[in-house]
Structure 1
Amino acid sequence: MSTTTPLPPECRLANDIARAFRHLPDDQAAEAVASHIRRFWDPRMRTRLSRFAAEGAAGLHPDVIAAVGLLTGPEG
């Protein structure tokens, strides 16, 4: 039996959002995820997601990782 640590709620939610935009090309999907998070998430949730991504991002959808980069970049 393997023991895996469940993803934090923010990570699970961000992955769900990324799956909702899977019909878009990767760059557009990442921007759509970042836009959704920017518009609807509490700053504390964004901080927890960014912190998790900085600690290795294990289990995060690639579009979420890209979105976190957009959120924490100069324009985020």
Structure 2
Amino acid sequence: MTFRGWQTLIVALVAALGAGLASIAYTNASARESERKWCGVVTTLDDAYEVTPPQTPAGRKIAEDIARLRADFGCP
């Protein structure tokens, strides 16, 4: 392979790597934005469950899951 061929191959690999990294960054940013949009609902539910704890096993499980979502999403 000539020097010109190697240059073309390297440029193509760098471009593919750059496109892959840009795609990953975009996906992560989209996921964070989606989580932020849910923060209002999750925070309201979690606060309500803290004030009035559920009495049934299913209700307690939902309250635990909402609290975990709040922490996972990084909601205030």
Q: Is the structural similarity TM-score above 0.5?
A: no
Bigger relative contact order, structure 1 or 2, given CA contacts below 8 A and separation 6+? 1
Please identify the structure whose Cα radius of gyration is greater. 2
Q: What's the TM-score, normalizing by structure 2? A: 0.33
TM-score by length of 1: 0.33
- More helix by proportion, 1 or 2? 2
